[in-house]
């Protein structure tokens, strides 16, 4: 039993994830409060509404997904092309894995994402910034064409959105998706790889 005086934001979010896995989008603040054995008013002291609670749960999920991507972006050694491909494949795999392993939670993430909140806009910009690091390193190594890293990264991110955006998680089969990704990947390479590096 959680006492109201020591109930933390993280404890509420942990519990909310558990309840969301069980009830999906039918979950309400009262359900979370019941599991914690506190009044729903206690939850509202930490989160102003159900929407705010769901957004906070989504923010934690986005943070978890970002950690391996940040590590890849920070690598200094190796092939810029391979680093870029690994980054994209890691992003795509993490979204696909979440959709397969936690469908109830993933549907919540997809719903929050579709609302285009400031949280999502900031997350997308953060991912583009991570991609920009890889592009910039590729330019320094004279592997990628000398163009704006931020603009190039944004174009790559948007070009691959079908494979990592939650709205498209259940479209098509895995084999077709992989084939389509290969087509897009080759097109990206033809646009960014410097002629001097070929």
> pLDDT by residue (tens digit) across 67-86?
999 999 999 889 999 999 99
pLDDT per position as a tens digit, 148-185: 999 999 999 999 999 998 878 778 888 999 999 999 99
Which of the 8 DSSP states describes residue 141? T
CA distance 185 to 82: 12
Cβ–Cβ under 8 Å, residues 165 and 110 = no
Would you kindly state where each structural domain of the chain is located, as residue ranges? 9-46, 55-197
Q: What is the pTM of this model?
A: 0.86
Q: Residue 147: exposed, middle, or buried by beta-carbon count in 10 A (0-12, 13-18, 19+)? A: middle
Which CATH number applies to 55-197? 1.10.357.10
Q: What are residue 49's phi and psi, to 5 degrees?
A: -160, 170
């Amino acid at each position: 039993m959680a006492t109201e005086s020591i109930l933390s934001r993280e404890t509420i979010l942990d519990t909310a994830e558990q309840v969301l896995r069980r009830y999906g989008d039918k979950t309400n603040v009262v359900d979370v409060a019941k599991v914690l054995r506190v009044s729903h008013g206690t939850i509202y002291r930490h989160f102003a509404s159900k929407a705010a609670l769901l957004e906070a749960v989504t923010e934690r999920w986005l943070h978890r997904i970002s950690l391996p991507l940040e590590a890849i972006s920070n690598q200094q050694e190796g092939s810029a092309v391979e680093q870029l491909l690994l980054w994209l494949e890691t992003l795509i795999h993490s979204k696909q894995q979440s959709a397969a392993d936690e469908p109830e939670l993933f549907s919540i993430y997809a719903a929050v994402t579709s609302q285009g909140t400031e949280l999502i806009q900031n997350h997308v910009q953060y991912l583009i910034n991570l991609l920009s690091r890889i592009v910039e390193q590729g330019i320094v190594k004279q592997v990628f064409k000398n163009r704006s890293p931020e603009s190039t990264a944004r174009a790559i991110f948007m070009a691959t959105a079908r494979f990592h955006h939650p709205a498209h998680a259940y479209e098509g089969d895995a084999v077709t998706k992989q084939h389509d990704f290969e087509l897009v990947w080759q097109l990206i390479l033809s646009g960014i790889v410097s002629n001097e590096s070929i």
